[in-house]
Chain A
Amino acid sequence: MTASTVDIALFAAKLAMVFFVILTLAAYLVFAERRVLAWIQDRKGPNRVGPFGLLQPLADLIKLLTKEDFIPTVADKWLFYLAPAMAAIPAILTFSVIPFGKPVAIAGHQVPLLIADLNVGLLFFLALSSIAVYGVALGGWASNSKYSLLGGIRGLAQLISYELSMGLSLVPVVMLAHSFSLTDIVVAQARLPFIVYQPLAFIIFLVSITAECKRIPFDIPEAEGELVAGFHTEYSGMRFGLFFVGEYINIIVLGGLATTFFLGGWHGPLLPPVVCFSLKTLAVAFFFIWMRGTLPRLRYDQLMHLGWKLLTPLALVNILVTGWFLQIVA
């Protein structure tokens, strides 16, 4: 396997493009969320910086960068420094296995539109999502504050619980696609997206990923009514910004995964594949924002009951039924 210079250059370009698009999109998702929430709540939202307030993310960035980087004296310094990165890096790494378009040919070179086509892509995503727990837990623990610790512990419990139902809801997808590779999963949905065969799995997955990115109605790790800001109470400036941006990167990535697993990936009528994928991903992201504007927060015990006593058994039953169905068809 020899890689020519052109291949390496194309790969580097792809990498730079993905980074740029994801980070910009995350920044603008914050803006979009504020505008959409304002719209839902009959307010105006940020509309002063630039036309329609479009430069607001830039202003926010300058604000976060110039703020004082405050560290509590009793904090565990190194972990306090590292935790925001531990939260943001797994989110952006997950995108490396998501195919965002059909392979294209550039100058005679076949370029697959994803960073790494792992044959265990789905497991790679599960592994990274279980690693993302550390950022929340250690951020809360290292701050050495009661609110942060409570937020960290809650976050830990929530993420472990919902990882289970998320993983189980993906088993039928693998059963249908006969593969763990995300490209194969998308190819298997050429005729019909899996949401048609697996509506229940899709709903379980959607609820679980909402819990995984700690969004309302599952935002008890940072419930502002009880815990100030939960695990990132003590953070300020760009470190807080990293937690914040990490959350939005997570929304984009999980939206992309929902698209890949259930909504047919890049397949779609009329439009070019990349556009199809982006539209579906943004639709899932919009759904997250919509949910935030609509639903109240769950109580801690309700959250645990939903995860362990409803979603996990349902996912198991779904696997059984799918297996039985596949046996009959085959």
Chain B
Amino acid sequence: MMEQTIFYILAGAAVIGTILAITESHPVHAILYLVTSLFSVAAIFYLLAAPLVAAFEVILYAGAIMVLFLFVIMMLDLGHPEQGLAPHWREWLPALLLSGVSAACLVAAIVARHGTGAPLAVQTLTIREVATRLFREHGLAVELVSLQLLFALVGALYLGRQNAPSPGLRPPSPQGKGAGGEGEPS
């Protein structure tokens, strides 16, 4: 009973947080709403006896990816670029169709499951179990994903390369051309 109440509170927080993240026009606020939503989802994972997934949800999504988003937004100081930038229907229609299909699948799955009434066997997933499954049974997939990440890394390095070696940070050159964002504008 208690778990159920907590679940509904968390689920409500997750849904409301996500909706607000989409509708909020200010990027920093939107990020905070999304973080709230991710937190709620992490807590739901914990309730579902998957503490490892809960921890990774917070570490990776709330703690790393969202922080990087925030970092970029703070660095760029975009102001309000989203004003007057409503996407064309040709852009949002495919997204709407696809999300409609996945939502329909989800509803179908829930309805199909609901009829059986068999509760899931709750069993806390240990880290050892997850690791064994992941690296014994899905070793190839793990390798492929890591290769993909390596490609992304190489790509990022390629895009971020500097043709001319950057001047040293000290002393500030008389032209006022500092390097790497540390230089003072003159």
Contacts and interface: CB of A to CB of B under 8 A. Distances in A.
A124 interface: yes
A141 B28 contact: yes
18 contacts: A119-B124, A120-B55, A123-B56, A123-B59, A127-B58, A127-B59, A127-B62, A130-B58, A130-B67, A133-B63, A137-B67, A138-B28, A138-B70, A153-B71, A156-B67, A156-B70, A163-B63, A180-B127
The 10 closest A-B pairs by CB, nearest first: A130-B63, A123-B55, A127-B58, A120-B51, A127-B59, A120-B55, A156-B71, A133-B67, A127-B55, A301-B169
Interface of B: 28-29, 32, 35, 51-52, 54-56, 58-59, 62-64, 67-68, 70-71, 74-75, 124, 126-127, 169-170, 180, 182
A188 interface: no
B180 A119 contact: no
Contacts of B169: 299-301
A104 interface: no
A137 B74 contact: yes
A205 to B, nearest CB: 17
Given A130-B64, A130-B67, A141 B56 contact: no
A315 B80 CA distance: 41
Interface residues of A, number: 28
Contact of A123 (B29, B52, B64, B68): B52
B55 A152 contact: no
Contacts of A6: none
Contacts of B74: 137, 140-141, 149, 152-153, 156
Q: Tell me which of A76, A127, A134 has the highest count of chain B C-beta atoms within 10 A of its own C-beta.
A: A127
Given A120-B127, A153-B74, A134 B59 contact: no
B180 A130 contact: no
Interface in A145-176: 149, 152-153, 156-157, 160, 163
B180 to A, nearest CB: 7
A180 B63 CA distance: 19
A79 interface: yes
A155 to B, nearest CB: 10
Nearest to B169: A301
